[in-house]
Amino acid sequence: MKGNDGTGNVEERDNWQTPQWLFDKLHTQYNFDIDCCATKENSKCVASSDNFERIGIMTLSVCWMNPPFSKSKKMFKHFFKVVNRGVAIYRCDNLETALWQDTILKNATWILIPKGRISYEGKEGKGSRFPSALIGFNVPVPNGLDGATLIVQEASK
């Protein structure tokens, strides 16, 4: 059996996009202001940033983030540093990694692992070979999505 050795966070997967149906469902509840890690061509929101690590603290925005795999550690550290409220999506196949242990699990308000695999847009093949997780920060758990939710900590006021 082939294990995950952490080499899956490669640039070839950076352009995998959130499926529109999932974003629409979340956007209806959260009304996202900015797509943190998107180009103008693939952004799911009116506002986007293809240079997220240079953005300062966003106190009034509700942010959406699907980070490029090759920069995920840097993007999540910045997300929890500058975002006041938001939701991110990320692979959920290796929770013992430093990214999950030192950054996501220590900062997230909740984590929802949707039932079934997410089929991302902008990729070839039969679908993702790993599960995904929605990661919330200072927002309520999403409505109407089947899956398992872990409440990590109470949301900041």
Query: Average pLDDT of 99-128?
Result: 85
pTM: 0.86
d(CA 133, CA 125): 20
Query: Is 127 inside any structural domain?
Result: yes
Query: Is 142 inside any structural domain?
Result: yes
Token couple for 156? 């900041």
Q: What is the mean pLDDT of the chain?
A: 85
Tell me the pLDDT tens digit for each residue of 1-37: 344 444 555 455 556 778 999 999 999 999 999 999 8
What are 149's strand-pairing partners?
112
CATH number of the domain bearing residue 48: 3.40.50
- pLDDT at residue 42 is higher than 70: yes
Query: Is 1 inside any structural domain?
Result: no
| Measured torsion, CA atoms of residues 112, 132, 60, 109, in degrees rounded to the nearest 10 | 30
Domain around 103 = 11-151
Total residues found in the chain within this entry? 157
The number of domains in the chain is: 1
Q: Which is higher by pLDDT, 4 or 131?
A: 131
d(CA 58, CA 20): 24
Query: Is 5 inside any structural domain?
Result: no
Q: Which is higher by pLDDT, 93 or 85?
A: 85
